[in-house]
Amino acid sequence: MNWRVIARTDAALASAPRSTRLVLVLPAVTILAAAYLYPVFGSDPITTARFSGFVDGWLATVVPLTGVLLGHDAVVSERESGSLLLSLSLPHGRGDFVLGKVLSRVGLVSGVVLVAMVLGAGLVVYPFGRLEVVQFCGFVATTVAFGAIWTNLGIAASLSTATKQRAFVVAFGLFFLFVLVWDAIADGLQYGLDRAGLVDGSLPDPVQFVFGLEPGAVFQRVTAGFFDPSASVDGPWYLGEWVALAVFGLWLFGPLTVTYSRFAGSDLS
Amino acid sequence: MAAITANGVSKRYGTVTALDRVSLSVEEGEIFGFLGPNGAGKSTFINVLLDFARPTDGSAELFGRDCQADGVSARERVGVLPDGYSVFDRLTGRQHVAYVVRSKDADDDPAEVLERVGISAAADRPASDYSKGMKQRLVLGMALVGEPDLLLLDEPTTGLDPSGAAEIRSILREERDRGAAVFFSSHILEQVEAICDRVGILQDGELVAVDTIDGLRQSIGGGTKLLIDVGELDDATTEAVRGVDGVETVTVSDGTTLEVTCTNDAKMDVVVELQRRGADVMNFRTEEASLEEMFLAYTGGSRA
């Protein structure tokens, strides 16, 4: 149960600075703002299930930012300063240490998302909306997992670098690539191929699949396929929601597993 | 059971050999001083024990548990003051100790621990504001939590003034008398000489000697030091003394005091030689060789 001590200590330390609180407020404000605006701008029927399709695009931008900001310094700042050595001098294994960090940071993001979603559901349902419990719970869980994916990507950056600065660059590189320019690359490619007469309107399915591997795209496909009744997923089987769910799982555990195994085998000083 | 067992531990970084087949054993209830110039590999050895570094060859155990394969349980009975640590940014001294108490599932009162290492007045200040000496005291206090059976301390007296260092030494003696093994590294000889039951000397990654202080003195050949006050002293006399069989070094201090290191047998020959030269011997004292001289003898004079 060593990870509990690590997680508890880290959560208390990480949530203290004002900068962390600002970062955590970001997804909460986004969810609440969306929940406030959705009944005004959304089309009937107003339900918490259809709310997922309204808010998921916003979350696909904001949650990654929160995740990498919160995750990127989880391990490397202690490694760089040397306080990591105090923790690992105690009967804590490196696995306990990283697990504690992950639970602490993912827990902070998840907690904020959960609270905001519950309040947001209230805003959607009152006065004219309808609560669809099962889909909404599924959507909240998916959003929490999406937050965990990006927090884990931040922590993976933290595990694979030796200085806080480099971890920041790697984590933000991922955010920049996947969240800010990914769609533009896809659009540019589509435009170019279309102009060259190689494709007709949209990218070939296998290429779409490759571009669809990005965590935000996967998140939106899972949401559309499972939880939002107003949206649907079409195309060949590998563009479907079940494959998306599997890819989602890979993102959740893959990067962390790979970078942790390297961290576990390295000399710390 | 041995607190520390090292079997041929080697550590290479590329072509650099930081540790070369170090084997040693430290028993419970003894204070073991790990001595060597800076860069000799002392911290690398301790880092292997703590699993911060993996040995290239050989293995190390704490209380019979492999430091690499079974690191967590190996560290359960150990209190550590590591090299190159830093305190947690936003925790007070008291919170640091409380963190260790929780981690080790111990029941120490943080206030008592801080009292023992002499920083209870600063208990509720952030530890990052502490001076270097206070941080050392804090981390030593953290190491004492849970009555460990082994204290593993890397240069514990760094940053402390002489009286602080003496306080630390008396704490280490108390711990030893309680039955714990104490293993500490230092490049400061007086620290080691003042307190250690046994000493290991590390030079360029090799353990060149392991013995008690007395044993080291013996093995270096008596190593007596003579302090002779003479009425007058000229260079020819000094040279003549230097020429006596068994004399290792001769230095002159204050113009009229000869400091001679020599084997035990040569003591009288030195005095006879001075008489023969007509020097007027006013006073004559002998000193045991200090660890410093032994250390220089072992490490080829390259004291850091």
The chain-wide mean pLDDT, for chain A, equals 91
Q: How far apart are CA B229 and CA B256, in angstroms?
A: 6
Residue numbers in A near B140 (CB within 8 A): none
C-alpha angle A192-A193-A198 in degrees, rounded to nearest 5: 155
The minimum CA-CA distance between B177 and chain A, rounded to whole Å, is 23
User: In the CATH hierarchy, which fold is given to the domain comprising B2-212?
Assistant: Rossmann fold (3.40.50)
Q: How much of chain A, in percent, has pLDDT values that exceed 90?
A: 62
Task: Give residue ranges of B with CB < 8 Å to any A CB.
Answer: 43, 47, 50-54, 71-73, 75-76, 80, 82-91, 96, 99-100, 102-104, 139, 142
Residue numbers in A near B85 (CB within 8 A): 82-83, 85-86, 89
For residue B146, what is the nearest residue in chain A, using CA coordinates? A90
Under 8 Å CB pairs connecting chains A and B tally to 77
For chain B, list the strands marked E by DSSP.
2-13, 16-27, 31-35, 57-62, 65-66, 78-81, 150-154, 181-186, 198-203, 206-211, 224-230, 247-253, 257-262, 281-288
Q: How far apart are CA B238 and CA B251, in angstroms?
A: 8
Q: Inter-chain contact A89–B82, Cβ cutoff 8 Å?
A: yes
- pLDDT > 70? residue B293: no
Phi, psi of B128 (to 5 degrees): -70, -15
The minimum CA-CA distance between B105 and chain A, rounded to whole Å, is 10
**Residue-level pLDDT at B126:** 93
Q: State the ipTM, two decimals.
A: 0.85
Q: How far apart are CA B109 and CA B98, in angstroms?
A: 8
> pLDDT tens-digit profile of B179-209?
999 999 988 777 787 888 898 988 888 888 8
Tell which wins on pLDDT, A143 or B1: A143
Q: How much of chain B, in percent, has pLDDT values that exceed 90?
A: 49
Residue numbers in A near B86 (CB within 8 A): 81-83, 86
Tell me the pLDDT band of B242, cut-offs 50, 70 and 90.
confident
**Residue-level pLDDT at B302:** 44
Q: Inter-chain contact B85–A90, Cβ cutoff 8 Å?
A: no
Q: Please provide the CATH number assigned to the domain covering B221-288.
A: 3.30.70.100
Q: Inter-chain contact A90–B75, Cβ cutoff 8 Å?
A: yes
Best mutation target, B56, B103, B150, to test chain A (most A CBs within 10 A): B103
- pLDDT > 80? residue B248: no
Q: Inter-chain contact A85–B88, Cβ cutoff 8 Å?
A: no
Q: How far apart are CA A252 and CA A255, in angstroms?
A: 8
